[in-house]
Amino acid sequence: MEKSTLFERFGQTIAPGRVIFQEGDAGDTMYIIQHGKVKITKRVSEVDKILMVLEKGDFFGEMAIIRHIKRTATATAVDTCGLLTFNREGFLNMISKNTNIAMNIIDKLCLRLEIADNQIRDLAKRDLKSLVISALNDLKRASTATDQDGNVLVLTYLHTINNIASQINSSAKEVEQVIDSLVDTRFLAIEGQMIKIVDTNELEKLAGYLK
């Protein structure tokens, strides 16, 4: 099936700024962009956050026909857009007759999964870091150890690593990697077998911010 024939049967032109669908709407249609750009936004804390801007060849709204769920984000035309629109039956019929479009959709879905996986990994790393910092702050509050000048909190390295790992249900190696990554910050240093919290006030502020 040629692209021109597809657009004649399933195409529509969307004016700039028009909302194609709204987050929370019911939907039974997915879209493939033939030309123009579409921004996908989600409402977070009363602010519309742009998740992505899609271009020619990209598709969106597929969850409505795959899982029959409400729209999870808002789609808005950035400029004049030409869109192919399909309900579930039309989509299945189209990809069964056009392997190139089917493969393009599979490739893009795989890419989205890869991006999502990387984002999840990044979030997990950030979450582990926040847990370690919060645990360090808790240890700081429970300790009275200081250096000879009395202004730096001193913790035994291995004991601290194992203590934090036990608290947050993580491995000692993962905690050690986070601790090492915090070296050269303005509040933490490692000397021999000791961890020195140079700026206890800064650590407390950061721990509070991450909670």
pLDDT at residue 149 tops 60: no
Which domains are delineated in the chain?
Answer: 3-97 (2.60.120.10), 122-210 (1.10.10.10)
pLDDT higher at 162 or 208: 162
Please compute the mean of the pLDDT values over residues 115-120 and round it to a whole number: 64
Please compute the mean of the pLDDT values over residues 88-109 and round it to a whole number: 80
- Predicted TM-score (pTM) of this structure: 0.53
Distances (CA, A) of 172 to 18, 65, 162, 169: 53, 45, 6, 9
Tokens of 136: 């360090």
92 conformational bin, left if phi > 0, alpha if psi -120 to 50, beta if neither: alpha
Tokens 């050269």 label which residue?
A: 184
pLDDT at 3: 55
